[in-house]
Structure 1
Amino acid sequence: MFWELIATVFAGLGGAGIALLLRKITKQTAPKWLVPVFAGGAMLGFQIQGEYDWYDHQASLLPEGVVVVKTVQEEAPWRPWSYVFPQTMRFIAADVANAATNKIDPNLVLVDLYFFERRHMAKRVPQIVDCVQEARTDFTQSFTASKKSSASSWYPLKDDDPLLKAVCSG
């Protein structure tokens, strides 16, 4: 976040520099108010571009075998352009490459889900996916296949759920 602030300041300086150059080219006939307008516009444009590029950049950094299973697009009144072009501010990725099948019940798969959110640290949440019942639950150390129905709260998944497709396709 610190480097983003520094880059925003430099974008503002660059915008102001362009306005000053325009004033020099026009022999000071261009209005003085162009300098702060160009600086502010450059800073705002840099921030907007950064918010729209965040998801693509983060998804490109995911290692091989980690699959994005859900994205969340948001709109906000303080970002009126987001009503026309919603921004992806959060997404969930599953570590399919390191998913482990339960030896007692091969229909159960342990997979790590990673929750990413703009300007927040990623969070890892281990999940158990039941490929036959099409449901998921949080992994706990006391979980065993024999008491799977009473140990945890199972959340149903739809047939076309990307998590179910990613984990249970193999």
Structure 2
Amino acid sequence: MLWELIATVFAGLGAAGIALLLRKISRNSAPRWLIPAFAGAAMLGFQIHSEYSWFEHQRSRLPEGVIVVKTVEQTAVWRPWSYLYPQTLRFIAADVANASVNQLNPQLKLVDLYFFERRASARRVPQVVHCQQQAQADFSATLQIPPPDSAVDGQWRKLAGDDALLIALCHSGANSNS
């Protein structure tokens, strides 16, 4: 975030320098307000660009085998342009390449989910996905592992059949080590 602030300031200084150069070329006939207007427009433009390019930049940095399973697009009153084109400021990625299959019930897969948010550190949350029951639960010492072909209890959250995490883990053949 510090580097982004520094880049924003330099974008403003660069644009102010261009406006100052325009004033010198026009022999000071260009209005003085051009200098702060250019600086403000450049800083605002840089911030808008960095917010819209953040998601693609983060996604390109994910290692192979880590896929995006959910994005959250947001609009805000203080960002009126986001109503025309919503911004992706949060997303969830799953490490399907390193997902492991449970030895007692092969329908269960342990996977790490990574929660990314603009201007925040990524968080890793281990999850267990039950492919047959289409359910997900937080991995913990108290999680009851159901035997094969049995129903899940209240610790599990149902997933939609078209859930990206369920498809990535259970339908794409993404089985790996135990």
Q: Is the 8 A contact 2:143 2:155 kept in 1?
A: no
Secondary structure of 1:67's partner? strand
2:137 corresponds in structure 1 to 137
Q: Which has the higher helix share?
A: 1
**1:7 matches 2:11:** no
Q: Could you list the per-position Cα deviations for residues 15-38 of structure 1 after superposition, in whole angstroms to 9, with x for gaps in the alignment?
A: 101101111111110000000000
Cα deviation, residue 144, structure 1: 4.4
Cα deviation, residue 162, structure 1: 0.3
Aligned counterparts of 2:69 and 2:126: Cα–Cα separation in 1: 15
User: What amino acid maps onto 2:2 in structure 1?
Assistant: F
**Matches for 1:101-112 after TM superposition, within 5 Å:** 101-112=101-112
Aligned counterparts of 2:117 and 2:55: Cα–Cα separation in 1: 9
2:49 corresponds in structure 1 to 49
1:77 corresponds in structure 2 to 77
Structure 2 unaligned spans of 5+? 174-178
Structure 1 unaligned spans of 5+? none
Q: Is the 8 A contact 2:129 2:135 kept in 1?
A: yes
Aligned counterparts of 2:111 and 2:144: Cα–Cα separation in 1: 15
Aligned counterparts of 1:5 and 1:143: Cα–Cα separation in 2: 44
| TM-score, normalization by structure 1 | 0.96
Aligned counterparts of 1:111 and 1:136: Cα–Cα separation in 2: 10
Q: Is the 8 A contact 2:133 2:152 kept in 1?
A: no
**1:97 matches 2:106:** no
**1:159 matches 2:157:** no
| TM-score, normalization by structure 2 | 0.92
Cα deviation, residue 153, structure 1: 1.6
Secondary structure of 2:127's partner? strand
User: What amino acid maps onto 1:161 in structure 2?
Assistant: D
Number of corresponding residues: 169
Aligned counterparts of 1:143 and 1:88: Cα–Cα separation in 2: 33
User: What amino acid maps onto 1:96 in structure 2?
Assistant: V
Cα deviation, residue 69, structure 1: 0.2
Q: Could you list the per-position Cα deviations for residues 34-74 of structure 1 after superposition, in whole angstroms to 9, with x for gaps in the alignment?
A: 00000000001000100000000000000000000000000
Cα deviation, residue 146, structure 1: 4.0
Please report the RMSD computed on the Cα atoms of aligned residues, expressed in angstroms.
1.3
